[in-house]
Amino acid sequence: MPRRAKRACRNAPEPDPEMPSGKRTKAMKTETSDKLVVEGGPSDSTKKAQAAKDCGNESSRYWLMKSEPESRMEKGVDVKFGIEDLKAQPKQTACWDGVRNYQARNFLRAMKVGEEAFFYHSNCKEPGIAGLMKIVKEAYPDHTQFEKGSPHYDPSSKKDNPKWSVVDVQFIRMTKRFIPLAELKVHHQAHKASGGPLENMALFTRQRLSVQPLTKGEFDFVLSLEDKKPS
DNA sequence: GCCAACGTTGGC
DNA sequence: GCCAACGTTGGC
């Protein structure tokens, strides 16, 4: 599943040939269509327009990344990885592995060092935003796709052309208070009705996407909730 | 290239 | 545990 990060990998992962830019197979169809800006050639205005539409603007992006804070077994492996688990890692840094959805992967590949992301707790008692982290290493191949024992093993992925990527993230801080999904949803509904920063928030408009972009407006609004009374 | 069947996500 | 939403697969 495109679910979440799991165990942290080594802090200094091996260098690896990053995605060869060759052939597009049929299976890679989706990745083409929602390929992001990132290093898109200067001539590629379509991709840029697409990315602009998805993310607001290119230079300063914000992200939301989902992970499960409660134990759940998948192929005999516990996939639990909450913000406390990130905090407990060496250097409070982990690689965000296990993403198995092309669109989410493409967002991972679009991330730049220094960009900030919300750590979102999903599939749990109280879903919502728990804290902040930042990107400390840009996309490189996800080692779990080659590990037979991993719940995220992908036998169709080849070492010389890895399908799936990770980024490294580092804990910044907890949000001043937990911001529940239910509260965000109330704002989303209100903003949808009469306008406001959360009206198009991907959390609600792209339901199952585990890695998603936020506009600065969305990011700032969510952060402003920290200082407000739980509604 | 369509689309039905299937599998996964994830809130409730 | 249920099930709606939606991505993926594969037959044709």
Cβ < 7 Å from strand C, A residues 161-190: none
- Tokens found for residue A129: 């935003």
Alpha-carbon distance A114 to A63, whole Å? 11
Query: How is residue A13 annotated by DSSP?
Result: P
State the pLDDT at residue A82.
Answer: 98
The model's pLDDT over A108-130, given as tens digits with 9 standing for 90+, comes to 999 999 999 999 999 999 999 99
- Tokens found for residue A192: 């949808």
Nucleic strand B interface residues, CB < 7 Å: A 1-3, 66, 100, 122-124, 127, 181-182, 185, 207-210
Q: How confident is the model at residue A12 (pLDDT cuts 50, 70, 90)?
A: very low
CA of A26 to C1' of C9 (A): 12
User: A185: which nucleotide lies closest, measuring CA to C1'?
Assistant: B11
In chain A, where do the E strands start and end? 62-67, 73-74, 77-78, 93-95, 116-121, 128-141, 165-180, 211-214
State the pLDDT at residue A10.
Answer: 43
What is the residue whose two structure tokens read 């990011």?
A219
The model's pLDDT over A136-170, given as tens digits with 9 standing for 90+, comes to 999 999 999 999 999 999 999 999 999 999 999 99
- Asked if strand C comes closer than 7 Å to A32 Cβ, the answer is no
- Asked if strand C comes closer than 7 Å to A208 Cβ, the answer is yes
Domains observed in chain A? 26-227 (3.10.590.10)
User: A4: which nucleotide lies closest, measuring CA to C1'?
Assistant: B9
- Tokens found for residue A119: 């750590």
State the pLDDT at residue A230.
Answer: 80
CA of A14 to C1' of C4 (A): 42
State the pLDDT at residue A60.
Answer: 61
- Asked if strand C comes closer than 7 Å to A72 Cβ, the answer is no
